Structure 1
Amino acid sequence: MKVKELSKKSSPRIDNKFVQALNIQTYGEDNLYPQAFRDIVHASPSGNECIDRLADFIEGNGFKDELFSEYVINRRGDTVDEVHCRMCQDMAMFNGISLHVNYNVFGEIVELNHVPFENCRLTEPDENGVISKIAIHPDWTGKKTRNGKTIQVKKDNIDYIDVFNPIKEVVLAQIEHAGGIENYKGQVLWITLFGNYEYPVGKGDKVATEMSTDEGLSNVKYRNVRCNFMPSTIMLSKKANSVTQTGLDGSESIDYDNDEVMNSLTKIQGDKNLGKIVEITVEADEEKPEFVNMDSKNYDKEFEVTDSSVTERIYSAFGQEPWYCIRKGKIGFSGDILSDAFEYYNSIVSRQQRFIERVITRIFKYWFEPVNPSNDYSITPLRYVQNGSSDKNE
């Protein structure tokens, strides 16, 4: 089919609209794309594992200059290394980062803070297509509370902060416009791999459906073990109106009257009741009890193909095929294989690492004091050590 015809069946991954009351461009139709995507990833065992591995490799062993990594960069006492770790987590999840900087009266950067990427929204561009401010709210879902009160999503609870522009004349003009340094809110560096001021999709967005399916498969496995009927035998006896559940060793005998028969079904579900004998009494004329063997339905087998294909697609989307092959036993588990896997994935994350290096270089170029005389802001990649641990864990 022609591309034009196919496009009619496809839709953008992120629908944006402008909300005049808040002066923001929505991040997704309901303005909650990053929150929804994060929840999908966290609910998927495979997706969550892949995101964590991606963040670890982007972070690597931190910046090569250890003294620079330990430098305290804000009043909270955060070091460069701690802020770098949070940046890498946002980069792995959302393909973007946001940082807040404060200036002194001389227009020099004196403080750097991480801002959760999911808390930021773009404002409306001006007539020249320029976005001048970033809107920040602690929780766009409107569920977070402070002092027992919900932080509503309204203009009064949103900080509108100037976008990053470290040119001294610009900073001094903004300080004067704010009424002095004590009223100045600083600037926000909001940047993504998708270009300037474009909402990005998450790294695993292409397999969002698979990650949601992965969550469903986990629920199936859980319920198959915890909620499935697993008695070995049902005994039908006559007259009395009760149900008795007895263990194979003769222990744990419980009687229920007729009103509790339906409620008693929960007593024979799940792994803890596997192999028990269930006695159901009925009013009938049989001379002796009748034993009926009961085979429970194993739902795991129904989803084996789906489980395998979903997991493979998730690992593939994150470029983590070597770990999938190791997990499935397609290749061996040796130091050489893992070392090759580390080298391979370091090449995958090199783009993100260079991106972060450029951001940090740009900020500390305008720092009020020299903190990295070597000007080396490169990140040390993870290396696999033959004793089974990475350099990062040593």
Structure 2
Amino acid sequence: MRTLLIDVWKRLTPWNKSADVYANDTDNAYPERMDRLINNSVTAKSAASIMLQYLIGKGYGEENDSLIVNKEKDLTLIDFADDIADDLVKQRGVFIHVNWNALYQISDFSVIPYEWCRIGKADSNDYAGKIAVSKEWLNPKRSDIQLIDVFNPRKKVIDAQVNKAGGWEHYKGQVLFVNMDTKLRYPLSRIDSVADDCDSEAQAAVYKNRLLRKGFFGNTLVVTRPLVEEGLEPGSKALIDAESERDRFQQAIKDSLGAENTGGVLCLEMDFAGEKLDDAILIKQIESKIDDELFEYTESSVRENILVAFNNLPAGLIKTNEASLFGNSGEAIREMKRTYWENTTKERNMLTSVINQLLEWSQDLSGIKVEPIKLTDDAGINYEE
């Protein structure tokens, strides 16, 4: 018996000598690729939006939500939480820039776009002390790469970093890297295992769109006997008159068929046998080549796979057009919401823990501790109860 070994695609994180960072995949474009796949898939994009809401719940209370965590950017706590949740949902990791003051208190913090960040060189203990930040990683210039120290709240560490930077006025702060795949250098995206499904859903939409826009679907085929006799001298009045008459005839057919409401009219000339009118002209409607049943099965299959990747998001939370879901006073949909609140506990706790950790060391917000307000339905039922 012979065993066929299939080379399964794997995300790699090789050392990039030109940029002095660990690349996120061989082309160093993994985060951008995953984000694009999510945005191109209606199911993944909708699932990400719903999961984000379940991580934040109903916020942290009106007073806490409006707290300013970064005065320079006029960034509120709820917006900061939304930024963290977005990266945790899509990339399963987040990079947070933290600024310290001379009292060793956090003066402000904000999320750096995940796609901009890469891990710097590691020491003999496999510890990387720098995060490299750049808006362009396909062909980065050294001058465009900013190196920032990895988050460490110890005073001795901050002092050493400040001295090396040349004083507080030159200190760039630190970057807190939250990685949900602790055994990997970079976390795998939420959709890593269903990347092909996200692409399939997007390509199915593109395929159907092209058929409708550029294909023969909806066209009318009109076949007639040759309307211009063979052998007419090029440029002669007889040929010009004949071609003009053909153009008028074909336009009359298009007008009579109401071509403005269809895909168009295709006119074809060929020899026919017989003398009857039916033998002289043929009109045929070209039907759609889209296999609705095949597409329905394919789209349903990829949709289910994508929803599983988002912590088993119940399909009913995205598409609830089935009357049965609203029977029994909506008990089915309420149960879905309760279940998904439980399914997202790990990510929600991580988000809350990160925020409270930063608030604890904050200059103006220390002593404040937040907890997401649990989601409830219209009947006031708590999903976690």
Which TM bucket (shorter chain)?
A: 0.7 to 0.9
CA distance in 2, matches of 1:293, 1:188: 67
* Alignment equivalent of 1:360, drawn from 355, 363, 368: 355
Does the 8 Å CA contact 1:19/1:25 hold for their aligned counterparts? yes
* Alignment equivalent of 2:67, drawn from 62, 71, 75: 71
Match of 2:172 in 1: 185
- Per-residue displacement from partner, 1:277-317 (whole Å, max 9, x unpaired)? 55434577864432142332331334332222122222222
Does the 8 Å CA contact 1:105/1:172 hold for their aligned counterparts? no
The yes-or-no answer on 1:384 pairing with 2:371 is no
Does the 8 Å CA contact 1:248/1:277 hold for their aligned counterparts? yes
Does the 8 Å CA contact 1:32/1:140 hold for their aligned counterparts? yes
- CA change 1:332–1:18 in 2 (3 A) is same
Secondary structure of residue in 2 paired with 1:304: helix
Does the 8 Å CA contact 1:339/1:385 hold for their aligned counterparts? no
* Alignment equivalent of 1:110, drawn from 107, 110, 117: 107
Match of 2:313 in 1: 320
The yes-or-no answer on 1:306 pairing with 2:295 is no
- CA change 1:277–1:221 in 2 (3 A) is closer
Does the 8 Å CA contact 1:122/1:197 hold for their aligned counterparts? no
Q: Which moved more, 1:243-252 or 1:41-50?
A: 243-252
The yes-or-no answer on 1:218 pairing with 2:205 is yes
- How do 1:20-169 and structure 2 match up within 5 A? 20-64=17-61, 66-74=62-70, 75-141=72-138, 153-169=140-156
Secondary structure of residue in 2 paired with 1:73: strand
Count of residues in correspondence between the two structures:
355
CA distance in 2, matches of 1:201, 1:120: 15
Cα offset for 1:199?
Answer: 0.5
Gapped runs of 5+ residues in structure 2?
229-242
- Per-residue displacement from partner, 1:13-60 (whole Å, max 9, x unpaired)? 311111123110000111100101111111112221112211222222
Letter in 1 for 2:284: N
CA distance in 2, matches of 1:159, 1:325: 41
Match of 1:145 in 2: none
- CA change 1:324–1:309 in 2 (3 A) is farther
CA distance in 2, matches of 1:382, 1:178: 46
* Alignment equivalent of 2:262, drawn from 269, 273, 288: 273
CA distance in 1, matches of 2:188, 2:322: 32
CA distance in 2, matches of 1:246, 1:336: 60
Q: Which moved more, 1:180-189 or 1:359-368?
A: 359-368
CA distance in 2, matches of 1:60, 1:167: 33
Cα offset for 1:377?
Answer: 2.1
- CA change 1:246–1:214 in 2 (3 A) is farther
- CA change 1:272–1:60 in 2 (3 A) is farther
Letter in 1 for 2:211: N
Letter in 1 for 2:112: V
**Percent identical:** 23
Match of 1:262 in 2: none
Greater Rg over alpha carbons, structure:
2
- CA change 1:209–1:49 in 2 (3 A) is same
- CA change 1:76–1:304 in 2 (3 A) is closer
Letter in 1 for 2:50: R
* Alignment equivalent of 2:284, drawn from 279, 293, 298: 293
Cα offset for 1:173?
Answer: 2.2
Secondary structure of residue in 2 paired with 1:173: helix
Secondary structure of residue in 2 paired with 1:217: helix
- CA change 1:225–1:170 in 2 (3 A) is same
Gapped runs of 5+ residues in structure 1?
143-152, 253-267
Does the 8 Å CA contact 1:68/1:372 hold for their aligned counterparts? no
Secondary structure of residue in 2 paired with 1:336: helix
- CA change 1:13–1:378 in 2 (3 A) is farther
Match of 2:340 in 1: 345
CA distance in 1, matches of 2:135, 2:345: 31
Q: Which moved more, 1:324-333 or 1:194-203?
A: 324-333
- CA change 1:68–1:250 in 2 (3 A) is same
CA distance in 2, matches of 1:17, 1:216: 30
Match of 2:233 in 1: none
Secondary structure of residue in 2 paired with 1:332: helix
Cα offset for 1:205?
Answer: 1.3
Aligned-residue Cα RMSD (Å) equals 3.0
